[in-house]
Structure 1
């Protein structure tokens, strides 16, 4: 009897859900929901921090309008910057942003058409201009929105992209080194511009970095393998601790209290005074590790140039100066730097802690600094050449890694991948 009742309950449940199971509508060209228009740039998040340095004058943000599924007719969509949304945004997010005045932007089209049978409009843009006139470190809100769409609805969650426009005093451009490294052809053997980094009695290397992933055993920052290389990690050594290997060995000792964090910006500096055998690491302008017995031999100078002759890539092999690469035959990717870099410098002195701290984020007049041998700001924002700002002519160039061990194909990166947006390096030396 109990089994019979259970069967009845099961049969009733099947009948209850039968109308849903028997829906034979073909959704391959149609959504079960109403067709709606939305901004492609707002599909995953509807806020973009548009931050730029104080020298930028203009920039254009591109976008398109999309439909949930194709329509049988052309769909006309109107666009606008809706300043009235500013107060709503501020109330919802507990912010106090000012609306960006109309004089600083131009919507290049106020209407787009999504053709019948298609889901995407042509690409359109909003151009921001006269940005160098904006007040520094003030955030303005620019709500780009769909005004309406003929014959379809508008997806509220992706209707508006809120651009947070900010002219920043901070560094806002850096190069992403994943799958590429950077060579300095002028440092190679036979180059007339390598003398500036040769026969040094003391040296400082510094850079601003952000590591996105510490998956490798070693992440090479800059320098020459087994000679003077600033890196993170080593075999049987924490892959998040700064380390160097010079001609005298490795420095410092393992210390799990000195680990870097992924996603954090750091200014890192490595100094070495050969005469005093003093070597030191500084992080964000503060002394992290020091030894006063690194050396003590007949070595009286160090040369970062004049190592090997150049080849097709403008560098000679494993033991030349690189950013994001150290030892590895045929451009081995295993020690790449998965993150961003900017403000890289080489000095012919061991800079003091105070000097490092005061000038972490910029050298105002690099051509007037006699001890500054090379200076790559990595602020180009486009292209594959990084200028040496000292005037010594040692521009750096991007070199892609090989894909796989067969060396049949190299990685390629777009400008957007090489120079990621949304960067803002906080200045920790400005309390």
Structure 2
């Protein structure tokens, strides 16, 4: 305090006064320094921890950790850089379409395993399995033609043998008419066999020069094996392995037009075949009678030497050889039925090769592939295996599993801005997944368990700020972490006796983040006059000079630092004295005025100009008695006798 002034009004009492500062919990802090910070009120108690004066308030992000909802094994480690956002985040895992990690497949000639987003993340096992298919009964499915239906096979070089020819098939005719197989249409003619004519004749026709061989022996409603051969010199016909006719036919080459091959029809609507047909074979060699007998009761594989086309009619008209002479256009409605024709498979067991994948869930998937393939599709898994050398892949992976991995992606969506993705390894190990752009690391002690929880499912975590208060003494601080959301909150600084109320914690954070505002806790100054009269004034306790007026007592208190004054006087009273002036007037009107210390002590006041001493055993009482008005000081009249 620099000065206590008083006026000369009647309310001013001479004598000893006291002044004391105290805190009133009903007085909120002065928050004018926090304008725009969404702080509605700062309350304080009246405990001994409260310091009057100016406080600094700021928000910040402390580097630390936070947890993910429902996931005790995974934590979030975050920094406090400018890129660290406060608020609610979501985290989830997914598999993106892409390529698997094939680092364990080095040397297998597998150059890529692509996958869609439906796959399981994790470790897959990949191997090749070979299966030997032993001799057994072939399928009984055959082609049934109704006399109005036929199948067209586009012409090709392999369907036009020039130097030798064998056509064979199994027939069960319902009518003794029609061309079962013909390369004869629109004036382009190469061959017809078998054709049924007359009462029971089997006709074989070749071009050029339209050579016809008719042989008897065909039966209606019976399965019969028929064959027609040409060796460059002679045409022969066979039924059930027996030669039934022959004719010389010596030409240099057969016709080789581009006309299609027709199964069930020739170059006339009236030459359609009615009945069953199976195992149609076209050879570029003249099969011997013994060869016909040896193979007529067997189904073939399609890779036999000299076999240019093979139609087993297993529900379609596909060519089983590598030539691909498939029936592409169908006129009418072909039926594939059980023809009760029992053939035996080839005596040489066939080998099928399958690529086997065992998925992370332990399910096994196999796909048969051909040695000419460059990729193997696993549609049930959403995978495709691409290889540059299928033979090498087969030899290395045959009964020798290798592994590959499909890794998931972790997604973190911050409070503001786009989702950030990071791929990580799918295993049972602990991992740290770095989201450096968000200043976040995700730590898990089991990446697989984390993935199982988060796969196509999001969880939440929050990075909360810290509110910091620095008390007026500059050394006392307290930090409290709070939720940075849009809700109202009360943040309790119990160590400082302060509660901060905000109606929007996020807005408060935005205003105070890496910045500071101030608020002031004011005291109440109470002055007590000598007669016990009191007046209490709320005292702005900032660190500035102030004047506090006690109008009721006629006093003004000046302070060069109100905060320091409040601190010194808090719950500790100090005294001050208002002195009066005594004025003595002699009979001749001579006056002398003396400032008179008006404490409640005995005093002697000397009026040297008048040769007088005034003794008092209580200066304050004397002052109160003789004081009429502080604006007009007068003493009581005195009389002096002649005696000394």
- With structure 1 as the length reference, what TM-score do the two structures score? 0.44
Larger Rg: 2
Instruction: Say which structure is richer in helix.
Output: 1
Q: Relative contact order (alpha carbons < 8 A, sep ≥ 6): 1 or 2 greater?
A: 2
Instruction: Say which structure is richer in strand.
Output: 2
